[in-house]
Amino acid sequence: SPFITTRSSSCKRSELEFAVALLVKSVEATIRVKVVRGSWPDHYRGQVVSRTTSISHGGVVLLDTRYGKMSVNRYGVVELSRNVVSVESGGQLKVGVVASQFEDDENAVAEGLVDFTPKTTGVSHGNCDLGFYLVRTSIHWSLPCFVDDHVGLQNKPV
């Protein structure tokens, strides 16, 4: 499993913690979450998290509406705080959607998880049925950009 480096930074009102891992032979996953049936209840907060199987602990929080309702636009698309993650080519990407009461980190009202096998191009889809609504997760796959051996302007095959 990859070595994870963490750094913290503090200021007057907050503290940020950064966790970085080197993923060898990775692809980029651009994530889109859309409510395709039902609607998100106003009295539930929402959380969307991605994980890769090569990193056994932690995940990338794509959205956490801890103190407010889920931000869904008029087309049903969940407005994520971030939507691009890296995934090892030989691993798996897991995207979870959780609904819970406001300020309740322990008890999920409903949750769903979709597994994806990475690709170098194309789109993958998966559904989470959380009872009161159905969410479709779409992943648009792409290669990271490289110039020589560094991330940059043109694609280099994995």
Report the 3 state secondary structure along 28-45.
EEEEEEEEEEECCCCCEE
- Residue 139 belongs to some domain of the structure: yes
Give the whole-angstrom CA distance, residue 54 versus residue 111: 22
Amino acid at 98: V
- Tell me whether residue 143 is in a domain: yes
By the 10 Å C-beta count (0-12 exposed, 13-18 middle, 19+ buried), 80 is classed as middle
pLDDT at 107 (0 to 100): 74
- Residue 140 belongs to what domain range? 28-155
pLDDT at res. 23 = 77
Count the domains in the chain. Answer: 1
Structure tokens at 146: 């490289």
Report the pLDDT value the prediction gives residue 1, as an integer from 0 to 100.
58
Residue 95 lies in a domain: yes
Distance separating the N- and C-terminal Cα atoms of the chain: 19
CA–CA separation, 121 and 157 (whole Å): 11
Instruction: Determine the pLDDT at residue 151.
Output: 55
141 in any annotated domain? yes
128 burial level (CB within 10 Å; 0-12, 13-18, 19+): buried
- Tell me, yes or no, whether 108 lies in a domain: yes
DSSP bridge partners of 9: 16
Q: Is residue 4 part of a domain?
A: no
Q: Which CATH number covers residue 102? A: 2.60.40
Is the residue at 21 inside a domain? no
Asked if residues 134 and 38 have their Cβ atoms less than 8 Å apart, the reply is: yes
| Residue 83 counted as domain residue | yes
Q: What is the pLDDT along the chain (158 residues), one digit of tens a residue?
A: 567 788 888 988 888 887 777 777 889 999 999 999 988 877 888 889 999 887 777 788 899 887 777 888 999 999 999 999 999 988 999 999 988 876 666 777 889 999 999 999 999 999 999 888 899 999 999 998 765 655 554 555 55
